[in-house]
């Protein structure tokens, strides 16, 4: 394929998926500026590997994997500890209604360890199963299950929810259904 049409195809894909990529990155890192950095790094890697990406069975899953791994790489690299920006720039609120429960959930999510947060976002926001999440995170399905279980326990404690009675399903959700978290703003 000619370089011009390759670039046009890449640009069209990125323009169509950019809002969803930003929301996913925001859920992972809890900061819009960092989310933009993660998305930029993801798009750069996607461009380099565009031929492989467009040949993938499911390009969105391929890109989601790049993004999740980029988030985890950033957490391990210590970049956040090395770079200190003075002052806090307030994030502009989303146009959707921001309920107290959503704020509580965001606060609780921000307290989770990065791998736990990634497991919860992939399992419940991206609606991936355990095996798919394990492939994205580069770990075993058992690790995804344990990280998800620990994250859900921590979220329940932070949100003051009663723990589920008896052993729950392998997905870590009590009582079936999605996750009991309700709607995530901007997810539709």
- The predicted model scores a pTM of 0.53
Rounded CA-CA distance 117/87 in Å is 26
Rounded CA-CA distance 168/176 in Å is 9
Of the pLDDT bands very low, low, confident and very high (cuts 50, 70, 90), residue 184 is very low
Q: Which residue has the higher pLDDT, 35 or 96?
A: 35
Q: Which residue has the higher pLDDT, 75 or 110?
A: 110
- Does the pLDDT value for residue 84 go beyond 60? no
Residue 51's Cβ-count burial label (10 Å; 0-12, 13-18, 19+) is exposed
Residue 162, classed as helix, strand or coil, is coil
Nearest to 127 by CA among 178, 76, 51: 178
Going along the chain from its start, the domains and CATH numbers come out as 1-79 (1.10.1740.10), 98-173 (1.10.10.10)
Give 184's DSSP letter. P
Q: What is the pLDDT of residues 58-78, one digit of tens each?
A: 999 999 999 999 999 888 776
Nearest to 21 by CA among 9, 36, 33: 36
Residue with tokens 């890697």: 45
Q: What is the pLDDT of residues 46-55, one digit of tens each?
A: 999 999 998 9
Of the pLDDT bands very low, low, confident and very high (cuts 50, 70, 90), residue 175 is very low
């Amino acid at each position: 394929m000619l370089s011009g049409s390759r670039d046009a195809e890449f640009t069209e894909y990125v323009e169509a998926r950019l809002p969803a990529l930003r929301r996913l990155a925001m859920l992972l890192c809890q900061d819009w500026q960092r989310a933009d950095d993660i998305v930029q790094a993801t798009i750069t890697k996607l461009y380099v590997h565009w031929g492989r990406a467009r040949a993938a069975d499911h390009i969105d899953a391929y890109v989601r994997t790049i993004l999740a791994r980029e988030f985890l790489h950033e957490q391990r690299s210590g970049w956040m500890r090395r770079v200190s920006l003075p002052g806090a720039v307030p994030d502009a609120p989303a146009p959707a209604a921001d309920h107290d429960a959503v704020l509580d959930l965001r606060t609780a999510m921000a307290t989770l360890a990065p791998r736990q947060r990634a497991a919860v976002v992939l399992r419940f926001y991206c609606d991936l199963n355990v095996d798919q999440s394990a492939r994205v995170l580069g770990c075993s399905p058992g690790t995804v299950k344990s990280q998800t279980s620990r994250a859900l326990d921590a979220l329940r404690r932070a949100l003051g929810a009663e723990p589920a009675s008896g052993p729950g399903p392998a997905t870590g959700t009590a009582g079936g259904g999605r996750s009991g978290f309700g709607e995530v703003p901007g997810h539709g």
